[in-house]
């Protein structure tokens, strides 16, 4: 049974509820955008403030500032993901350019990422899905190597691969938009490198991007690693986490629900999860990201690729 059939088979999925869940709320989205902008500014302020201290206090301000800015940069990738599903703005044109705006600081073309991510949803676990690995190789060792590469540097590798993957599968019009977007990104990046001191770029962009890399890699790995790509319910994983962390991740921890309802904006995912979770016959689930990582490391020592955390949803806490 594919994801569409699964979604249609859920009870109480009337048109009114689906319309409510897929409706866009500009106030909620602006609140999220402004909140993460404030988080970045707080981190930048701590970085500036650190110069007033010496020793441990100054170092603590630097670390805290980098982490806060990294959390903010991580949100850009999450907002870009929302835009790929048409959930940043009601207007198609506004959504497209808003997606470009949040992707540009990460050096990502929104058009290129939209193409590869659409293939990930449509081809989940099949040849043109570039977010999972088991369909591309028969070697368990290669799959585990890919998992660990994703954990260590997955987002950085994917940023480099996106334009080539999108170019390979994109049509002429898509390719033109990709060229335009990367041309703008390259021009702006060149101006920044010319006009802004290297130390500033290091402190306020590069080091926070490394924090973003860690957050994105753990989240991405937990979303699909050690699932069953032949079972639509076990191909994606949802995880329980603290509500603050859940909000900071724009509810991407509920990744199975996202794959079931990809048009639902992030701020409705918790409600959808609560409504449908108990109706699912099975799912991959972990009680936290740390629990997933611990189970992941133990499985890697055994070289096992069996689905991790398979549960009967009605028997676990939502």
Q: Over the stretch 256-292, which tens digit does the pLDDT of each residue have?
A: 999 999 999 999 999 999 999 998 999 999 999 999 9
Q: How far is CA 116 from CA 54, 148, 158, 162, 174, in A?
A: 47, 21, 10, 7, 12
Predicted pLDDT at 178: 97
| Residue 1 confidence (pLDDT) above 60 | no
**Cβ distance 101 to 65 under 8 Å?**
no
What is d(CA 23, CA 275) in angstroms, rounded to the nearest whole number? 16
Predicted pLDDT at 2: 61
Question: Maximum Cα–Cα distance for the chain, whole Å?
Answer: 62
Q: What is the mean pLDDT of residues 163-168?
A: 94
| Residue 15 confidence (pLDDT) above 80 | no
46 alpha carbon, distance to own chain's centre: 26
Predicted pLDDT at 12: 58
| Residue 72 confidence (pLDDT) above 80 | yes
**Cβ distance 174 to 111 under 8 Å?**
yes
Predicted pLDDT at 144: 97
**Cβ distance 120 to 131 under 8 Å?**
yes
**Cβ distance 99 to 114 under 8 Å?**
yes
Task: Dump pLDDT digits (tens) for 189-239.
Answer: 999 999 999 999 999 999 999 999 999 999 999 999 999 988 989 999 999
Predicted pLDDT at 138: 87
| Residue 317 confidence (pLDDT) above 80 | no
pLDDT band at residue 55 using 50, 70 and 90 as cut-offs: confident
| Residue 26 confidence (pLDDT) above 70 | yes
Task: Dump pLDDT digits (tens) for 103-154.
Answer: 999 999 999 999 999 999 988 888 888 888 988 898 999 999 999 999 999 9
pLDDT band at residue 13 using 50, 70 and 90 as cut-offs: low
- Provide the mean pLDDT of the chain: 93
Task: Determine phi and psi for 285, rounding to 5 degrees.
Answer: -150, 140
């Amino acid at each position: 049974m594919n994801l569409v059939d699964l979604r249609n088979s859920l009870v109480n999925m009337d048109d009114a509820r689906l319309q409510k869940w897929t409706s866009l709320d500009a106030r909620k989205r602006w609140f999220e955008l402004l909140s993460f902008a404030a988080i970045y500014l707080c981190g930048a302020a701590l970085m500036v403030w650190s110069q007033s201290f010496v020793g441990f206090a100054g170092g603590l301000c630097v670390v805290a500032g980098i982490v806060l800015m990294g959390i903010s940069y991580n949100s850009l990738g999450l907002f870009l993901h929302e835009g790929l599903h048409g959930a940043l703005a009601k207007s198609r044109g506004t959504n497209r350019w808003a997606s470009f705006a949040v992707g540009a600081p990460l050096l990502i073309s929104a058009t290129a990422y939209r193409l590869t991510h659409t293939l990930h949803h449509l081809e989940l676990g099949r040849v043109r899905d570039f977010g999972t690995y088991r369909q591309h190789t028969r070697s368990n060792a290669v799959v585990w190597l890919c998992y660990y590469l994703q954990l260590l540097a997955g987002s950085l590798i994917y940023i480099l691969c996106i334009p080539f993957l999108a170019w390979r599968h994109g049509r002429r019009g898509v390719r033109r938009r990709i060229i335009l977007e990367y041309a703008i990104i390259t021009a702006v990046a060149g101006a920044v490198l010319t006009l802004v001191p290297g130390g500033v770029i290091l402190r306020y962009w590069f080091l926070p991007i490394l924090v973003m890399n860690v957050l994105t890699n753990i989240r991405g790995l937990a979303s699909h690693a050690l699932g069953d790509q032949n079972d639509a319910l076990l191909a994606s994983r949802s995880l329980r986490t603290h509500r603050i962390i859940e909000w900071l991740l724009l509810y991407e921890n509920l990744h199975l629900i996202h794959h079931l309802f990809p048009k639902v904006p992030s701020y409705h995912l918790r409600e959808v999860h609560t409504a449908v979770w108990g109706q699912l016959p099975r799912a991959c689930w972990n009680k936290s990201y740390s629990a997933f990582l611990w189970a992941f490391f133990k499985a890697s020592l055994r070289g096992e690729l069996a689905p991790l955390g398979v549960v009967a949803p009605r028997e676990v806490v939502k």
